[in-house]
Amino acid sequence: MIAPDPNPDLPRVRLLPKANARAIRHGFPWVYANELVTDRRTRALAPGALAVLEDSARTPMGVVAVNPVSRIMCRMLERDPNAQVDRAWLTARLSHALALRTQLYDAPFYRLVHAEGDGLPGVVIDRFGDTAVIQPNAAWAEARLEDLVAALVEVTGVSTVLKNAAGRTRALEGLDDVSAVLVGTAPQAPLPVPMNGATYMADLTGGQKTGLYYDQRPNHAFAARLTGKGTRVLDVFSHVGGFALAMLAAGAEHALAVDGSAPALELAAQGAAASGVADRFETRQGDAFDTLTALAEEGAQFDVVVCDPPAFAPNKQALEAGLRAYERIARLAATLVAPGGYLGLCSCSHAADLERFRASCTRGIGKAGRAGQLLQTGFAGPDHPQLPQLAETGYLKALFYRL
């Protein structure tokens, strides 16, 4: 008896014999263009089209989203080749994601969808109370944005949905960079976000990424445990006050926030005021490397120094230069840590794995003439779940040393 053809209305795309079908069967969610039979029919598929993926023996493996213009030509959506990827499917995925966050957090401020980690490849959704910011960074999500937004409103009850189209990922998918208000009205002022006893101000329309980095929440909390009466804090690449505000809320005596962005530092100052710690908070705008050097020349010393730079190694081509930059940051920062003080070093570069990042940081500390105990290795919070088969979903690393 011949088995029924799964999803007969969908086209087929097929793996080449050399492709690693076993990895895909075991959960790896991407198929690269050089792993597929790319005939004229496959190349003619519209970006974001759905198809049934077959192995080289034509055995169905699941439903994928296809983008012929992307290096990641297929993204696995469902391992059941008979699955219907429609609005009801989106609603189920979002409900599953929301259930986790509702269990983890008392207030609706979190990353609601972490792309492949939540089974929605390329989709990032951050929630700020009644407002959600969505980044549809894959062609399939852009093509189904209306259904995705409708499902989001149905599941969460948010009244405002903003689309953030910034970032290089969309360009790699052949998508535009036009952000928009999809539901409701864009907030006219930064929104207050409570985390770790502090209040952060998130600019959802003009700020970086979706307006706030939720991923560092547990690392902010650990840094806050290192503070006490008289603690002096230096927060480098501070953005809107990430580590500094959490440590001030925990009782630090003074915090200096350093960032290259004047708007980010203004938001940090507003957050300090909202947190009731403005009298203990100071900002300095400038290049991080130059500022660290200047502080050392001034003879400055801090009890806790934390550096949370942007991705120095966003891809494999930039890895060696990125590792040198992490080493340099560690060396400069270590000179500013008082004896017995603490140094926190972070990386959001998925290309720099934990072992290499840790080696660069430790080498930099040594070149500063310091010795360090590694106390804590932190990662992104549980609202950023990892897909174990995809290293990119576990990009964030935070190392805390006692010098």
Question: Rounded distance, CA 299 to CA 53, Å?
Answer: 62
Which of 74, 307, 346, 348 is flagged as catalytic?
A: 348
3-class DSSP string for 287-345: CHHHHHHHHHHCCCCEEEEEECCCCCCCCHHHHHHHHHHHHHHHHHHHCCEEEEEEEEE
348 classed as catalytic: yes
Tokens of 97: 């994601």
What is the residue-wise DSSP string for 57-89?
T--EEEEEEE-TTSSEEEEEEESSTT---SHHH
What is the residue-wise DSSP string for 219-274?
HHHHHHHT--TT-EEEEES-TTTHHHHHHHHTT-SEEEEEES-HHHHHHHHHHHHH
The angle formed by the CA atoms of residues 173, 179 and 183, to the nearest 5 degrees, is 115
Q: Hey, what amino acid is at 8?
A: P
Strands 49-54, 60-66: pairing kind:
antiparallel
Residues 6+ apart with CB under 8 A from 85: 50, 63, 77, 78
CB contact at 8 A, 305 and 337: yes
Q: Which residues are catalytic?
A: 348
